[in-house]
Amino acid sequence: MDEILAPFEGIGKFILKTIDELGSLVIYLWESTLSIFRYSINFGNLIDQMAFIGVDSFYVVGLTGLFTGMVLSIQSYYAAKIVGVTYMIGPTVALSMTRELGPVLTALMITARCGSSMASEIGTMKVTEQIDALEVMAVDPYYYLSIPRILAAMIMLPIMTILCSLIGIIGGYIVYAYFLGLNHATYIEKIYQYMKLSDIYNGLLKAVFFGIILATISTFKGFETTGGSRGVGRFTTQAVVLSSVYILFADYILTSILF
Amino acid sequence: MIVLERLTKSFNGIKVLDDLNIKFEDQKITVVIGRSGGGKSVMLKHIIGLIRPDSGRVLVNGIDIGTLKRKELNEIRKKFGMVFQDGALFDSINIFENIAFPIRQHTKLKESEIKDMVYSMLGDVGLSGQELKVPSEISGGMRKRVAVARALILNPEIVLFDEPTTGLDPIMSDAINNLIISIHNKFKFTGIIISHNIEGAYKTGDVIAMLYGGRIIEMGSPAEIKNSKNPVVNQFVTGSMSGPINFNII
């Protein structure tokens, strides 16, 4: 009997663990949000984090956008040529980038680059008692470490998404006009014709949510870190994996609601 | 005055503090001695509110800190300075910024005033000229000195030292003990030192308390502890293998 029930026990434990973790995350986000109202925002710290998430991520996000747009253009060409609608390549690239790939790929790249750094930095501070030192010095670690990162991610993700999408569209244009030798003007003209402002706004709204998700999970995992240097590695991996999964999950939910 | 009343704390079913009672007198240095893993650091973390007790109270100037909200607790914490066992210095900023950190967080002093305070404190702890180094570039003894400087920079009423000489050679240990005595004479704080270094305890402590089995089993002047008739205290201070201390007890 026990053998029959064992898989269900495993599933039950997984569900309970997920709910427990989700609950802890929500409480953590709530605590962090409250600390905004308890203390004034440290703008110096916020700007440092915005530079780290934004300016320092420009190349990786830009390259991701560029190659994604170029690949999209080529792939769309093969399909569009069959049915004779190559003029639709522009809107296909632009809509894919602004509605979907721009926000998601930007979030995933920034999770890999900055989320891992947030988790490992805070995790190292945790295992070396630097977080305790902050508390002892009457500095709220949520206020000092979480809030600047969460706010910076909220602000910078949409900006980086705009860059990613724009560079992606340009990449698509380069392939369309120069490699495939199609009409330059059609690419831009059809984008204007088929793309609505709401496509851009909704994509940026997604980016705001992705920013909150990646920074909250990454800093949360940093604070959860135990077990010395191995623990830092383990929790950093968890931060990246969990952030990526939640971003993709949230993407589905938001796409269902917004579009 | 800091008072711990009937403090009890367990971790994973193991009682680390068991009905612990102790009073720390103002402006005196109390050294709490006891075996490694015996709950000394846990007691210290209760005093500063990093750990909440299972039962019992921690009173700081008559206020039960276990009942305080985070912001109220932070107000109490401004009265404290703490020197962590491994320093707990911020490893991504230099020594100057480590020491200046509490000033920047809690005051609106001008940069020139901050510089004056930090350089003066660096002189007090014997680290003049080292301010631009980062923690990874300095020795263990220097890190302890920086930690002491950071703890004292806002002139707190109470300073907690978590094993300030652990991991240091005897000469550096003595230098840290001398530093604690000299800064105590200058700043007149209430000091609580956690240690298992008996010679250091005799030297720095006005009062010595022995923590064993989760409670304070004896408290008195260094001379009283040295001549204690309590076999546990006697075994500990003489460092003898034979005696009532069970080596399996945490």
pLDDT per position as a tens digit, B125-162 = 888 999 999 999 998 889 989 999 999 999 899 999 99
Q: Do B82 and A138 touch (CB under 8 A)?
A: no
> Looking at the predicted structure, is the pLDDT value of residue B249 above 60?
no
Task: Tell me the nearest-neighbour CA distance from B232 into chain A, angstroms.
Answer: 32
Residue boundaries of the structural domains of chain A:
1-34, 44-258
Q: How far is B59 from B66, CA to CA, in rounded Å?
A: 8
Of the candidates B155, B178, B212, which is a domain's last residue?
B155
B71, B89, B90 ranked by CB distance to A38: nearest: B71
Q: Is B93 on the interface with A (CB under 8 A)?
A: no
| Same domain assignment for residues B162 and B70 | yes
pTM for this entry = 0.85
Closest residue on chain B to A128 (Cα): B88
Q: Whats the size of chain A, residue-wise?
A: 259
> Looking at the predicted structure, is the pLDDT value of residue A155 above 90?
yes
- CA A64 → CA A70, A103, A161, A251, distances in Å? 10, 11, 11, 18
Q: Is A136 on the interface with B (CB under 8 A)?
A: yes
Q: Do A137 and B101 touch (CB under 8 A)?
A: yes
Long-range contacts of the stretch B6-13 (C-beta < 8 A, 24+): B6/B55, B6/B56, B6/B57, B7/B43, B7/B46, B7/B53, B7/B55, B7/B56, B7/B57, B7/B58, B8/B53, B8/B54, B8/B55, B8/B56, B8/B214, B9/B39, B9/B42, B9/B46, B9/B51, B9/B53, B9/B54, B10/B54
Q: Is A33 on the interface with B (CB under 8 A)?
A: no
Q: Is B88 on the interface with A (CB under 8 A)?
A: yes
Mean pLDDT of B98-118: 94
| Same domain assignment for residues B196 and B224 | yes
Instruction: Quote the percentage of chain B above a pLDDT of 70.
Output: 98
> Which chain B residues have a beta carbon less than 8 Å from that of A138?
74-75, 77-78, 105-106
Q: Do B90 and A137 touch (CB under 8 A)?
A: no
Give phi and psi for B55, each to the nearest 5: -155, 165
Q: Is B82 on the interface with A (CB under 8 A)?
A: yes
Q: Is A130 on the interface with B (CB under 8 A)?
A: yes
Q: Is residue B95 part of a domain?
A: yes
A130, A138, A140 ranked by CB distance to B90: nearest: A130
Write out pLDDT tens, residues A48-89.
999 999 999 999 999 999 999 999 999 999 989 999 899 999
Total domains, chain B: 2
Write out pLDDT tens, residues A191-247.
999 999 999 999 999 999 999 999 999 999 999 999 999 999 999 999 999 999 999
Mean pLDDT of A24-51: 83
Q: Do A140 and B74 touch (CB under 8 A)?
A: yes
Mean pLDDT of A125-132: 94
| Same domain assignment for residues B95 and B46 | no
Residue pairs between chains A and B whose CB atoms are closer than 8 Å: 49
Q: Is B224 on the interface with A (CB under 8 A)?
A: no
Write out pLDDT tens, residues A235-253.
999 999 999 999 999 999 9
Q: Do A132 and B50 touch (CB under 8 A)?
A: yes
Interface TM-score (ipTM) > 0.90: no
Half-sphere exposure of A14 toward its Cβ, with a 13 Å CA cutoff? Answer: 6
Q: Do A138 and B48 touch (CB under 8 A)?
A: no
Closest residue by Cα to residue B45 from B69, B72, B73: B73
Q: Is B105 on the interface with A (CB under 8 A)?
A: yes
| Same domain assignment for residues B7 and B129 | no
| Cβ B209 vs Cβ B216: under 8 Å | yes
Q: Is B106 on the interface with A (CB under 8 A)?
A: yes
Q: Do B74 and A128 touch (CB under 8 A)?
A: no
pLDDT at B250: 47
A121, A132, A139 ranked by CB distance to B105: nearest: A139
Q: How far is A209 from A205, CA to CA, in rounded Å?
A: 7
| Cβ B82 vs Cβ B133: under 8 Å | no
Q: Is B187 on the interface with A (CB under 8 A)?
A: no
Mutual angle of helices A102-110 and A58-83, in 10-degree steps: 150
Q: Which of A118, A135, A147 to mutate to test the interface with B (most CBs of B within 10 A)?
A: A135
| Same domain assignment for residues B209 and B171 | yes
Q: How far is B53 from A66, CA to CA, in rounded Å?
A: 56
Query: Domain of B238: which CATH number?
Result: 3.40.50.300
Q: Is residue B225 part of a domain?
A: yes
Q: Is A137 on the interface with B (CB under 8 A)?
A: yes
Local confidence band at B38 (pLDDT 50, 70, 90 cut-offs): confident
Q: Which residues contact A141 (CB under 8 A, 6 or more apart)?
A: A131, A134, A135, A223
Q: Whats the size of chain B, residue-wise?
A: 250
Q: How far is B9 from A9, CA to CA, in rounded Å?
A: 33
Domain of B124 in residue numbering reads as: 90-155
Give phi and psi for A204, each to the nearest 5: -70, -35
| Same domain assignment for residues B12 and B51 | yes
| Same domain assignment for residues B31 and B51 | yes
Local confidence band at B118 (pLDDT 50, 70, 90 cut-offs): very high
Q: How far is B247 from B250, CA to CA, in rounded Å?
A: 8
Indicate the residue type of B40.
K
Closest residue by Cα to residue B105 from B150, B138, B65, B148: B150
Mean pLDDT of B189-193: 95
Q: How far is B215 from B24, CA to CA, in rounded Å?
A: 15
| Cβ A177 vs Cβ A232: under 8 Å | no
Q: How far separated are the first and last CA of chain A, in Å rounded?
A: 48
| Same domain assignment for residues B167 and B69 | yes
pLDDT at A47: 95
| Same domain assignment for residues B138 and B66 | no
| Same domain assignment for residues B148 and B168 | no
Local confidence band at B248 (pLDDT 50, 70, 90 cut-offs): low
Closest residue by Cα to residue B98 from B139, B146, B158, B144: B146
pLDDT at A140: 87
| Same domain assignment for residues B165 and B42 | yes
Closest residue on chain A to B154 (Cα): A137
Q: Do A129 and B90 touch (CB under 8 A)?
A: no
Q: Is B74 on the interface with A (CB under 8 A)?
A: yes
Q: How far is B123 from B121, CA to CA, in rounded Å?
A: 5
Of the candidates B155, B172, B194, which is a domain's last residue?
B155
Q: Is residue B24 part of a domain?
A: yes
Q: Which residues contact A249 (CB under 8 A, 6 or more apart)?
A: none
| Same domain assignment for residues B148 and B182 | no
Write out pLDDT tens, residues B195-236.
988 999 999 999 999 999 999 999 999 999 999 889 989 888
What average pLDDT does the structure give for chain B? Answer: 90
**According to DSSP H, which parts of chain B are helical?**
40-47, 70-77, 95-106, 111-124, 140-152, 170-187, 198-204, 222-226, 231-238
> Looking at the predicted structure, is the pLDDT value of residue A150 above 90?
yes
Q: Do B50 and A140 touch (CB under 8 A)?
A: no
Q: Do B82 and A129 touch (CB under 8 A)?
A: no
Task: Tell me the nearest-neighbour CA distance from A140 into chain B, angstroms.
Answer: 8
Q: Is residue B250 part of a domain?
A: no
Surface of A (167-186) touching B: CB under 8 A? none
Of the candidates B131, B155, B179, which is a domain's last residue?
B155
Q: Is A132 on the interface with B (CB under 8 A)?
A: yes
> Looking at the predicted structure, is the pLDDT value of residue A158 above 50?
yes
Q: Is B101 on the interface with A (CB under 8 A)?
A: yes
